[in-house]
Amino acid sequence: MTATIDWYVALSAILFTIGALGVLLRRSAIIVFMCIELMLNSANLLFVAFARSLGDLHGQVLVFFVIVVAAAEVAVGLALIVTIFRTKRSINIDEINLLKG
């Protein structure tokens, strides 16, 4: 039995769902951020799988763009999380709740 494209679509859909649920349910900013990375990488998996099955190179190139953007987001995101940890000594997003109304 060989793995068809459907398997990869299903796998990346599962990864995406795990990531999205993690963003909505987890409370630590770092874990939420890791879940976002998981979502981005599920899209990457989908790009590569489609590129392979459609015989088109574009999809593989696009993955590099997404990786670069993810890296830029990590740089900014971790810096923000570190600054907020310095001020509040916590990165639990339930405790970061000054703004509401």
Partner 1 sequence: MEFTPPEINLLIVAPVLIIMAAGSLGMVIDLFMPDGKKGWAVWLAAIGLLLALAQNIALWNGNYETFIPQNGVAMVVMDNFAIFLNATFLLTGLLVIPLSRSYLQRTGLEKPEYYMLLLFSISGMMLMGMANDLILVFLALEVLSIPLYIMCGMLWPRPESEESAMKYFLLGAFSSAIFVFGIALVYGATTTTAIPLIFDAVAANGLNAMIVTGLAFLMVGAGFKVAAVPFHMWTPDVYEGAPTPVTAFMSVGAKIAGFAALLRVLMLALPQASGEWVTAVAVLSTLTLIIGNVVAIRQGNIKRMLAYSSIAHAGYILIAVAAAADNPSAGVSSALFYMFAYLFTNLGAFGMVIALERNYGEGNLLDDFKGLAKRHPWLSLAMAYFMLSLTGIPPTGGFSAKFYVFGAAIEAELYWLVLIGVITSVISGYYYLRVVYLMYMFDGEGQLITGRALQFAVFVMAISTLVLGLFPEGLFNLTAEATLSATRLLAGG
Cβ 4 to partner 1, closest distance in Å?
13
How far is the CA of 75 from the CAs of 51, 61, 64, 86, in angstroms? 29, 22, 17, 17
Q: Smallest distance from the beta carbon of 69 to partner 1, in angstroms?
A: 5
Chain positions contacting partner 1, by CB under 8 A: 9, 12, 16, 19-20, 23, 29, 32-33, 36, 39-40, 42-44, 46-47, 49-50, 54, 56, 58-59, 62, 65-66, 69, 72-73, 76-77, 80-81, 83-84, 86-88, 93, 96-101
**Inter-residue contact 3 to 20 (CB < 8 Å):** no
d(CA 8, CA 6): 5
Please say which residue, 7 or 96, places its beta carbon nearer to partner 1: 96
Nearest to 33 by CA among 22, 41, 46: 22
Cα(16)–Cα(19) distance, integer angstroms: 5
**Identity of the residue, 2 or 100, whose beta carbon is nearer to partner 1 in the bound complex:** 100
Work out how close the CB of 51 gets to partner 1 at its nearest, in angstroms, rounded to a whole number. 8
